[in-house]
């Protein structure tokens, strides 16, 4: 039995990692493959039995995992970001939540004839749309910035808020059941105690731990493990004082740390994010493996009615009311209304509450789990499969080649970014040098402060609307690393880097990059970063020229060839084409050429090796 448990735990971890990797590869939410894996391992084959494997530890394990997930989510919430959001986002988190709660509650009561209390709890569980399922959909759909920002921040903020709402509804149910009466006063007392313990304990622990971090009273190598044990302790202590106040406590604690001045939580957040991925993956497989297909029999076709009510009534009504008077087109509102998948919090919290409610005498409580999974699977499958098509039909998605991510914010990167921006292309620069980032922003360019290959960039760098990457730093190793990192996002055919040293770039470095990733060298091997930077510091200017029937590419070469470095071209269909080593472009009439032009003639070595 001991050996079987080790094999089962190892298999869960291995399969979870494979599902995450495969989801990243195909650009779909990992939840799809995690749920499928859990169903195959559990009810289909009978190989995995979580209740037998974990025994009495299953409920505490799920509880602690949800606590860590909520703490990690709350660490990403900064009040200054929330205050800067559009009014529509605030409406989605307030009025919109109540609308979905009401619609889901009524649908559950009508279609399944559930008791009002359980219907209300299921309605509270279904208001959550987590970022773990929304972000992968956004990367696939690539909607415009307005839609992406609204959906992303709604998902991040509503995750802990929705869980808190579910906890409060659960407390309402349990308070009436345990007291043996439905006295409103008793219920309010229980609610008040839960809120007081959660808010006070979370604030005190968050502030205390923040002081320790602010004044460097603890070595850095203990920050992560101390934060984790503090989450466990806060959750256990709060629940010991007042049942089910632990989730609220850890959420408040994370919010306090995230917004406390002088406290850096990035390293903790990186650790918690990695841990959350592990917990999310394991939980989905374990919870899906606990499903019993026989539990779906009482629903029949009626469960589809609840799904349709949420997808086609609750979500659209929520968005319609929340966006009333907002500066959004009807096409943007339709796509926002279409995308609202349910995620890990709905699955985990439903399993957690089902166990407790069944112990309290609610015979239909176990049905909350298959109901939640039905809505999760239905929303994720439907929206993942159709959102990109709908976005394209509505004209609110960004073409893959519309935007460019530029690695670096130096003089060369800023000059090329401005040239691309002048041609109507979205650009976003990234650099770890604050002075360079500030220079870019002062020039009106969108710039992200941070290293492009960091975990912070994975979490915060917005790639929506970007389809190509240009590595334009003086460090050839970092250019190579950046292109290798982002080829998974954009494809190797859309990754470009600038030459830094002709001697090196003609040798082993370029050969290795090209053989490994088929990444392109911008402007040719001999046109280095130092060369362009030097010319920009002299009298060279970036100029655009539109080719015509009377002034074609041959005439352009005759006039500018020796004193120009061709950078990129825009075809008649507004497709962006870069001049790269080893590829020959034949610009046609109607194309616009953008080049770095010198006032005086240059030597032949200063021009592009490939002009046509």
Whether 387 and 407 map to the same domain: the answer is: no
Report the distance separating Cα 370 and Cα 464, nearest Å. 34
Whether 340 and 481 map to the same domain: the answer is: no
Whether 321 and 414 map to the same domain: the answer is: no
Report the distance separating Cα 239 and Cα 241, nearest Å. 5
Q: Answer whether residue 612 is part of any domain.
A: no
Q: Is the pLDDT of residue 609 over 50?
A: no
Asked if 12 and 40 touch (Cβ cutoff 8 Å), the reply is no
Residue 345 vs residue 208, higher pLDDT: 208
Residue 179 — pLDDT band, cuts 50, 70, 90?
very low
Q: Please report where in the chains the tokens 């995995």 appear, as a residue.
A: 48
Bridge-based pairing of strands 564-570 and 495-498 is unpaired
Q: Is the pLDDT of residue 316 over 90?
A: yes
DSSP state, residue 77: -
Residue 315 — pLDDT band, cuts 50, 70, 90?
very high
Domain count, the chain: 2
Q: Is the pLDDT of residue 153 over 90?
A: no
Report the distance separating Cα 218 and Cα 223, nearest Å. 7
Q: Answer whether residue 15 is part of any domain.
A: no
| Residue 434: other Cβ atoms inside 10 A | 11
Asked if 100 and 310 touch (Cβ cutoff 8 Å), the reply is yes
For the chain, what is the total number of helices (H) and then of strands (E)?
27, 10
Q: Answer whether residue 4 is part of any domain.
A: no
Q: Answer whether residue 8 is part of any domain.
A: no
Residue 178 has what pLDDT? 46
List the single range of 16-30, 206-220, 401-415, 589-603 with lowest mean pLDDT: 589-603
Q: Answer whether residue 49 is part of any domain.
A: no
From 361, 394, 427, the end of a domain falls on 394
Q: Please report where in the chains the tokens 């953008």 appear, as a residue.
A: 594
* Closest CA relative to residue 473, chosen from 388, 394, 552, 410: 410
Q: Please report where in the chains the tokens 């240059």 appear, as a residue.
A: 602
From 394, 425, 456, the end of a domain falls on 394
Q: Is the pLDDT of residue 318 over 90?
A: yes
Residue 593 has what pLDDT? 83
- Average pLDDT over the chain, rounded to whole? 79
The domain that holds 539 is classified in CATH as 3.40.50.720
* Closest CA relative to residue 342, chosen from 373, 317, 385, 304: 373
Bridge-based pairing of strands 576-578 and 592-597 is unpaired
pLDDT single digits (tens) 544-592: 888 888 888 788 777 777 778 888 888 877 778 888 877 777 787 888 8
Whether 435 and 389 map to the same domain: the answer is: no
Asked if 139 and 464 touch (Cβ cutoff 8 Å), the reply is yes
The predicted model gives 152-168 an average pLDDT of 74
Residue 371 vs residue 539, higher pLDDT: 371
Report the distance separating Cα 69 and Cα 78, nearest Å. 17
What are phi and psi for residue 404, nearest 5 degrees?
A: -130, 130
Whether 389 and 415 map to the same domain: the answer is: no
Asked if 360 and 178 touch (Cβ cutoff 8 Å), the reply is yes
Whether 498 and 591 map to the same domain: the answer is: yes
Whether 442 and 469 map to the same domain: the answer is: yes
Residue 289 — pLDDT band, cuts 50, 70, 90?
confident
Q: Answer whether residue 22 is part of any domain.
A: no
Provide the token pair at 56: 């009495």
Taken in order 365, 367, 369, 373, the sign of the CA dihedral is negative
Whether 188 and 227 map to the same domain: the answer is: yes
The predicted model gives 3-22 an average pLDDT of 87
Residue 515 has what pLDDT? 47
Residue 319 has what pLDDT? 92
162-171, 186-195, 563-572: range with highest mean pLDDT: 563-572
From 344, 361, 394, the end of a domain falls on 394
Residue 334 has what pLDDT? 92
Bridge-based pairing of strands 468-471 and 495-498 is parallel
| Residue 276: other Cβ atoms inside 10 A | 21
pLDDT single digits (tens) 470-515: 888 888 888 888 888 887 777 777 788 888 776 554 445 545 544 4
Q: Is the pLDDT of residue 104 over 90?
A: yes
Q: Answer whether residue 175 is part of any domain.
A: yes
List the single range of 98-107, 165-174, 181-190, 405-414 with lowest mean pLDDT: 181-190
Report the distance separating Cα 506 and Cα 482, nearest Å. 19
Q: Cβ contacts of residue 542 below 8 Å, gap of 6+?
A: 415, 416, 418, 419, 567, 594, 595, 596, 597
Asked if 452 and 436 touch (Cβ cutoff 8 Å), the reply is no
Bridge-based pairing of strands 592-597 and 541-546 is antiparallel
Report the distance separating Cα 419 and Cα 404, nearest Å. 12
| Residue 152: other Cβ atoms inside 10 A | 17
Residue 101 has what pLDDT? 92
DSSP state, residue 448: E
* Closest CA relative to residue 579, chosen from 559, 589, 591, 593: 593
User: By CB neighbour count within 10 A (0-12 exposed, 13-18 middle, 19+ buried), where does 219 fall?
Assistant: exposed
Q: Answer whether residue 19 is part of any domain.
A: no
The domain that holds 167 is classified in CATH as 1.20.1530
Residue-number span of the structural domain to which 180 is assigned:
58-394
What are phi and psi for residue 96, nearest 5 degrees?
A: -60, -40
Q: Cβ contacts of residue 55 below 8 Å, gap of 6+?
A: none
Asked if 571 and 577 touch (Cβ cutoff 8 Å), the reply is yes
Residue 611 has what pLDDT? 42
Whether 327 and 455 map to the same domain: the answer is: no
Whether 436 and 563 map to the same domain: the answer is: yes
Q: Following DSSP, what letter does each residue of 344-369 receive, concatenated?
A: HHHHHHHHHHHHHHHHTT-TTGGGHH
**Chain CA centroid to CA 519, Å:** 26
* Closest CA relative to residue 336, chosen from 361, 317, 360: 317
Q: Which residues pair with 543 in a beta bridge?
A: 595
Residue 552 vs residue 205, higher pLDDT: 205
Whether 438 and 352 map to the same domain: the answer is: no
Biggest alpha carbon–alpha carbon distance for the chain:
93
User: By CB neighbour count within 10 A (0-12 exposed, 13-18 middle, 19+ buried), where does 231 fall?
Assistant: buried
With a pLDDT cut of 70, the percent of the chain lying above it is: 86
Q: Which residues pair with 429 in a beta bridge?
A: 406, 447
* Closest CA relative to residue 608, chosen from 498, 491, 534, 453: 498
List the single range of 47-61, 72-86, 423-437 with lowest mean pLDDT: 72-86
- 568 by DSSP, 3-state: which? strand
Residue 449, CA distances (Å) to 84, 408, 492 in order: 19, 10, 24
Whether 420 and 338 map to the same domain: the answer is: no
Report the distance separating Cα 371 and Cα 10, nearest Å. 29
């Amino acid at each position: 039995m001991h050996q079987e448990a080790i094999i089962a735990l190892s298999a869960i971890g291995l399969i979870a990692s494979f599902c995450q990797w495969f989801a990243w590869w195909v650009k779909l939410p990992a939840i799809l493959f995690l749920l499928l894996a859990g169903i195959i391992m559990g009810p289909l084959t009978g190989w995995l039995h979580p209740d037998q494997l974990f025994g009495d530890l299953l409920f505490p394990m799920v509880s602690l995992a949800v606590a860590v997930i909520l703490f990690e989510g709350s660490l990403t919430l900064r009040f200054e970001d929330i205050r800067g959001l559009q009014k529509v986002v605030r409406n989605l988190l307030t009025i919109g939540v109540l609308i979905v709660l009401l619609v889901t509650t009524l649908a559950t009561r009508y279609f399944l004839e559930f008791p009002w209390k359980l219907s209300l709890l299921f309605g509270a569980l279904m208001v959550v749309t987590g970022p773990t399922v929304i972000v992968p959909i956004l990367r696939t759909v690539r909607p415009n910035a307005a839609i992406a920002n609204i959906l992303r921040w709604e998902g991040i903020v509503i995750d802990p808020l929705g869980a808190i709402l579910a906890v409060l509804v659960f407390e309402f149910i349990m308070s009436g059941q345990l007291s043996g009466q439905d006295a409103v006063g008793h219920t309010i007392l229980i609610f008040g105690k839960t809120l007081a313990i959660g808010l006070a304990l979370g604030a005190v622990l968050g502030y205390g731990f923040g002081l320790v971090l602010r004044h460097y009273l603890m070595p850095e190598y203990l920050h992560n493990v101390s934060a984790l044990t503090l989450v466990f302790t806060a959750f256990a202590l709060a629940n010991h004082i007042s049942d089910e106040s632990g989730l609220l406590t850890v959420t408040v604690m994370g919010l306090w740390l995230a917004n406390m001045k002088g406290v850096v939580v990035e390293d903790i957040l990186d650790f918690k994010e990695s841990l959350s991925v592990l917990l999310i993956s394991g939980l989905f497989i374990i919870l899906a493996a606990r499903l019993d297909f026989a539990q779906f029999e009482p629903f029949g076709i009626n469960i589809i009615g609840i799904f349709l009510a949420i997808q086609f009534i609750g979500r659209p009504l929520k968005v319609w009311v929340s966006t009333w008077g907002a500066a959004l087109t009807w096409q943007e509102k339709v796509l926002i209304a279409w995308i609202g998948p349910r995620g890990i919090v709905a699955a985990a919290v439903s399993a957690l509450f089902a166990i407790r409610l069944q112990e309290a005498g609610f015979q239909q409580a176990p049905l909350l789990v298959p109901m939640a999974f039905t809505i999760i699977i239905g929303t994720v499958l439907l929206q993942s499969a159709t959102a990109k098509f709908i976005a394209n039909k509505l004209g609110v998605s960004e073409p893959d080649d519309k935007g460019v991510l530029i690695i670096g914010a130096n003089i060369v990167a800023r000059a090329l970014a401005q040239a691309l921006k002048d041609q109507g292309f979205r650009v976003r620069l990234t650099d770890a040098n604050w002075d360079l980032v500030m220079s870019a922003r002062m020039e009106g360019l969108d710039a992200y402060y941070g290293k492009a290959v960091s975990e912070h960039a994975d979490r915060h760098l917005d790639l929506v609307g970007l389809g190509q990457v240009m590595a334009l730093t003086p460090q050839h190793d970092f250019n190579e690393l950046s292109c290798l990192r982002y080829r998974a996002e954009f494809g190797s055919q859309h990754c470009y880097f600038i030459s830094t040293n002709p001697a090196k770039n003609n040798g082993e470095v370029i050969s290795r990059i090209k053989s490994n990733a088929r990444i392109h060298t911008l402007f040719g091997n001999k046109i280095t970063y130092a060369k362009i930077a030097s010319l920009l510091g002299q009298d060279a200017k970036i100029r655009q020229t539109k080719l015509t029937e009377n002034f074609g590419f041959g005439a352009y070469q005759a006039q500018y060839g020796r004193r120009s470095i061709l950078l990129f071209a825009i075809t008649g269909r507004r497709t962006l084409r870069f001049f790269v080593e080893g590829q020959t472009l034949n610009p046609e009439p109607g194309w616009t050429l953008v080049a770095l032009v010198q006032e005086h003639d240059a030597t032949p070595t200063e021009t592009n090796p490939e002009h046509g």
